[in-house]
Amino acid sequence: MTETVTVLGIETSCDETAAAVLRHGPDGVVDILSEVVLSQIDEHAPYGGVVPEIAARAHADATDTIVQQALDQSGQALQDLDAIAATSGPGLIGGVMVGMMTGKALALAAQKPFVPINHLEGHALSPRLAEVCAFPYLLLLVSGGHCQFIAVKGLGDYQRLGTTIDDAAGEAFDKLAKTLGIGFPGGPAVERLARTGDPARFDLPRPLLNRPGLDMSFAGLKTAAARIVEAEPLDDQGRADLCASYQHAIADCLAEKARRALDVFAGADDDEIRLVVAGGVAANQTIRTALDDVARAAGARLIAPPLRHCTDNAAMIALAGAERFKAGLLPEDGQAFSARPRWPLDEAAALAAPAYGGGKRGAKA
């Protein structure tokens, strides 16, 4: 096994064009040599959400430049790399294809292996960018498109314990922000307004908390908030109170489900139980605090990536590529790999008991 590898990672699954060069050394020590992220917030802000066609065009315009900047900042040439990794799903398929095809072209030109990466695996491994986070651990992956508890047993070995049966928590935040007209991206906008709000003013539902198990639901919460907005005109304080109440409801749901998940998670041989939270919503401080309280009460440790690595980034894609390269977990022909709009971490569970999503694209979770 190669002890030290250097990998270029490319991420284009949604509305950030990102590239990073990472060196993965012995014992899992990570050195991020460069990291470049170009946001598309200004392009999507007028629409209150990400427009797939606009996102794909923006990625096509910027990806080659962002990759070159990452290489220049790292001091590495293409020939210095051991492999090139790119998000190959799940995500907005137009953007995914831009990054994947860029990675394939570079790998072909440099005669280096191309490593297709599951975007969700990037998030799952992201805490390992900043510290040694040994397997196994309990993962709460909470983002704009996914919300699920996963037992991370090892690289490529994931077991779904529970998932949202409809909307993700991040999508719920975005929907409230759009309903209130408070800005994009929605999650940070709601969190900012919630700081001056009263979380007890509005009695909002906590879906599925009275039902056993680890599955979650946020569609009813979205509907309840929308009805409040429709029923009465809200002044500035009213909007802040609704944001605080809404954020508190989501935090309660995630915390209670995390408590139950810790009860059933097997834990590790070293007796330290690790609860990892990753994904864009993991940047929310109220949710982090609630999860930290739950972890402490259970005798576990909460581990979260640095804030910049909670949202979509290429460093986590490079890390996943490096770990797969070193472990020999590569497809027979990376160049033949097709982009996947849906790509569950636990594919066996998604096939046997899809939580939601289906049709030609397959189950989302």
Per-residue H/E/C for the chain: CCCCEEEEEEECCCCEEEEEEEEECHHHCEEEEEEEEEECHHHHHHHCCCCHHHHHHHHHHHHHHHHHHHHHHHCCCHHHCCEEEEEEECCCHHHHHHHHHHHHHHHHHHCCCEEEEEHHHHHHHHHHHCCCCCCCEEEEEECCCCEEEEEEEECCEEEEEEEECCCCHHHHHHHHHHHHCCCCCHHHHHHHHHCCCCCCCCCCCCCCCCCCCCCECCHHHHHHHHHHHHHCCCCHHHHHHHHHHHHHHHHHHHHHHHHHHHHHCCCCCCCCEEEEEECHHHHCHHHHHHHHHHHHHCCEEEECCCHHHCCCCCHHHHHHHHHHHHHCCCCCCHHHCCCCCCCCCCHHHHHHCCCCCCHHHCCCC
Q: What pLDDT does 76 receive?
A: 98
Average pLDDT (34-59) is 96
Average pLDDT (348-352) is 92
Domain 135-304, CATH = 3.30.420.40
Q: Given a cut of 60, is residue 268 above it in pLDDT?
A: no
Structure confidence at residue 362 as a pLDDT band (50, 70, 90):
confident
Q: Given a cut of 60, is residue 10 above it in pLDDT?
A: yes
Average pLDDT (310-339) is 97
- Is 332 within 8 Å of 14 (Cβ atoms)? no
pTM score, whole prediction: 0.95
Domain 5-128+309-361 has CATH 3.30.420.40: yes
* Interval 78-88: pLDDT, tens: 999 999 999 99
Q: Torsion angle, CA of 313/314/318/323, rounded to 10 degrees?
A: 20
Q: Given a cut of 80, is residue 162 above it in pLDDT?
A: yes
Average pLDDT (331-345) is 96
Structure confidence at residue 53 as a pLDDT band (50, 70, 90):
very high
Q: Given a cut of 80, is residue 356 above it in pLDDT?
A: no
Average pLDDT (195-224) is 97
Residue spans of the domains in the chain: they are 5-128+309-361, 135-304
Structure confidence at residue 269 as a pLDDT band (50, 70, 90):
low
Q: Given a cut of 80, is residue 364 above it in pLDDT?
A: no
For the chain, give the percent of residues with pLDDT over 70.
97
